[in-house]
A = this chain, B = another copy of it.
Amino acid sequence: MKPIGELIKQKPWIGWLTFFGTIIVVFFLGLLASSIIERRAEAVFAYTPQVEYDQMEPRIEIWGMNYPREYQTYLKTADTTFRSKYNGAAMVDMLEKAPELVILWAGYAFSIDYNQGRGHMHAIDDVRNTLRTGSPMTPEEGPQPGTCWTCKSPDVPRMMNQIGIAEFYSSTLAKLGPEIVNPIGCADCHNATTQALQISRPGLIEAFQRQGKDINKATHQEMRSLVCAQCHVEYYFKGDGKYLTLPWDKGFTVEEMEAYYDEYAFADWTHKLSRAPMIKAQHPDYELYRFGIHYDRGVSCADCHMPYKSEGGVKFTNHHIQSPLNNIENSCKVCHREETDELIRNVYQRQDAIYQTRTLLEKALAKAHIEAKFAWDKGATEKQMAPVLKLIRAAQWRWDYMAASHGASFHAPVESSRVVSLGLEKAQEARVEIARILASLGYTQPVPMPDISTKAKAQAYIGLDMKELRKKKAGFLEKIVPEWIRIAKEREAQYPINKL
């Protein structure tokens, strides 16, 4: 073989071929490099701050000027359609769907109004609109305390900072009405300077402290669940100051939280029919998720509910928080290689199983309350009824712990099922006991059941004047809410927005 120099000397076209070939290759390399640089530039551009604001800025549209992708996807939480077999669409009237719930919550605000929740963007509207918050025509009026606002708005940390935490909770809901106007937003979870995830709500921080843990030592991956756990947890309003408290001191199981409440002899309300001292579960989403396989495998809330998204050269967290069933390709399929239909079927299978037993428990509990009332009416004594009331309290706490927890039958199907089973056993045990009490009072027939086949009938049975409640609400929404909004707009118009 000849050296290349000698070869070119003999056949000059080889040299030209090499020369022009190289030119072409280098040209395309140049194009590629240009494309890479352009995408980098796009990314840098995307994250160039446009305005300056501080941690107390509640408006997402201001934060959104600097983080348009996160902002724009977050706006989509206003979209209320979602795929769910059992919860129906957002805002489905759950009392219409299962009128037994009216009985279960008799004497408590939930028996008046309870709809399937919807996206974060509706948080403020839904608090104003629900009949549960009543119709306060003056700032001093109830029925609800300021604590009800706690999870609803980035105006909450702003106001807690301004007036103090205890003062915030012990205020009325109405008094804070003109202040709490922006639905859940950026400042609830993010640091205004670094965008790092951070906890803005005292309840979670204090619960960690009482457990001897420092929430500041949580990893980033833990924070991707803990920012959600600021609100998606079980909590109660402690004492006269209605101080929002997480009942985690003994642990996260249904029994450990019950032990916590029992130690305080805490009751949210006394049941109107059975007279049992009841606990209303909020939504122990984070707690139940901890008993599931996804938690065990280190999967955070954001991994499934806010999976990463790519747009142009930018990868970012999709802030359209939603059911992963709406977005299986980007959530489940990051780990699971099965077909979409198969994955949905797997979820529904869990929901089917637990929904079936949960419904049985609902019906058993409704019967237990009605039968207990019947026993009282027949002259049962406090002493006779004491064990019954204890069983009803425990059974309904188990039902509510599971039923109120969003996605429980998927997050932790086995634990959910266990909890419902235990509730079922206790509800039925209560009914055995009532049958004996009734017998001792000379009544040996089945207790006649009222017609509670619709929400309206069930509400009439427990003595609610729904027409009056709705009329008052309409007056409140017409007169008070627009005034709150007007005051808030005036205030916000004076906030400085510094263009950078």
Query: CB within 8 Å of B: which residues of A?
Result: 1-4, 291, 293, 296-297, 338, 342, 346, 349-350, 353-354, 356-357, 360, 364, 413-415, 417-418, 420-422, 424-425, 428-429, 431-432, 435-436, 438-440, 443-446
Give CA–CA (A146, B346) in the complex, Å: 42
List of B residues within 8 angstroms of A357 by Cβ: 417-418, 421-422, 425
Q: How far is the CB of A18 from chain B (nearest CB, A)?
A: 16
Tell me if B431 and A440 are in contact (CB < 8 A).
no
Give CA–CA (A439, B364) in the complex, Å: 21
Select one of B293, B342, B360, B429 contacting A346, CB under 8 A.
B293
Select one of B2, B342, B356, B435 contacting A3, CB under 8 A.
B2
Give CA–CA (A404, B382) in the complex, Å: 43
Please report whether the interface of chain A is mostly helix, strand, loop or mixed according to DSSP. helix
Give CA–CA (A17, B136) in the complex, Å: 98
Q: How far is the CB of A339 from chain B (nearest CB, A)?
A: 11
Tell me if B353 and A414 are in contact (CB < 8 A).
yes
List of B residues within 8 angstroms of A436 by Cβ: 435, 439, 444-446
Select one of B3, B414, B445 contacting A417, CB under 8 A.
B414
List of B residues within 8 angstroms of A338 by Cβ: 297
Select one of B342, B432, B445 contacting A432, CB under 8 A.
B432
List of B residues within 8 angstroms of A354 by Cβ: 414, 418
In the complex, the chain B residue whose C-beta lies closest to that of A336 is B297
In the complex, the chain B residue whose C-beta lies closest to that of A409 is B414
List of B residues within 8 angstroms of A417 by Cβ: 353, 357, 413-414, 417-418, 421
Most chain B beta-carbon contacts within 10 A, residue among A296, A360, A415, A432: A432
Select one of B353, B422, B439 contacting A435, CB under 8 A.
B439
Q: How far is the CB of A293 from chain B (nearest CB, A)?
A: 7
List of B residues within 8 angstroms of A293 by Cβ: 346
List of B residues within 8 angstroms of A3 by Cβ: 1-3
What number of copies of this chain does the assembly contain?
2
Q: What are 21 A-B pairs at a CB distance below 8 A?
A: A1-B3, A1-B4, A354-B418, A357-B421, A360-B421, A360-B422, A360-B425, A413-B414, A413-B417, A414-B414, A417-B417, A417-B421, A421-B421, A421-B424, A428-B428, A432-B435, A435-B439, A436-B445, A436-B446, A438-B439, A439-B443
List of B residues within 8 angstroms of A424 by Cβ: 421, 424-425, 428
Give CA–CA (A307, B135) in the complex, Å: 67
Give CA–CA (A353, B429) in the complex, Å: 20
Query: Top 8 A-B pairs ranked by shortest CB distance?
Result: A428-B428, A439-B439, A417-B417, A435-B435, A439-B444, A357-B421, A353-B418, A440-B444
Select one of B342, B364, B414 contacting A350, CB under 8 A.
B414
9 more A-B contacts (CB under 8 A) besides A296-B342, A439-B444? A293-B346, A353-B418, A413-B414, A417-B417, A428-B429, A431-B432, A435-B439, A436-B446, A439-B443
Give CA–CA (A311, B432) in the complex, Å: 62
In the complex, the chain B residue whose C-beta lies closest to that of A353 is B418
In the complex, the chain B residue whose C-beta lies closest to that of A4 is B1
In the complex, the chain B residue whose C-beta lies closest to that of A441 is B444
Q: How far is the CB of A9 from chain B (nearest CB, A)?
A: 14
List of B residues within 8 angstroms of A428 by Cβ: 424-425, 428-429, 431-432
Q: How far is the CB of A468 from chain B (nearest CB, A)?
A: 38
Most chain B beta-carbon contacts within 10 A, residue among A1, A3, A349, A418: A418
Q: How far is the CB of A428 from chain B (nearest CB, A)?
A: 3
Q: How far is the CB of A1 from chain B (nearest CB, A)?
A: 5
Tell me if B414 and A364 are in contact (CB < 8 A).
no
Most chain B beta-carbon contacts within 10 A, residue among A4, A293, A431, A435: A435
Most chain B beta-carbon contacts within 10 A, residue among A4, A356, A414, A422: A414
List of B residues within 8 angstroms of A435 by Cβ: 432, 435-436, 439
In the complex, the chain B residue whose C-beta lies closest to that of A2 is B3
Give CA–CA (A306, B444) in the complex, Å: 58
In the complex, the chain B residue whose C-beta lies closest to that of A297 is B338
Give CA–CA (A293, B354) in the complex, Å: 16
Give CA–CA (A356, B444) in the complex, Å: 33
List of B residues within 8 angstroms of A349 by Cβ: 291, 414
List of B residues within 8 angstroms of A443 by Cβ: 439
Give CA–CA (A424, B3) in the complex, Å: 90
Give CA–CA (A342, B296) in the complex, Å: 9
In the complex, the chain B residue whose C-beta lies closest to that of A417 is B417
List of B residues within 8 angstroms of A350 by Cβ: 414
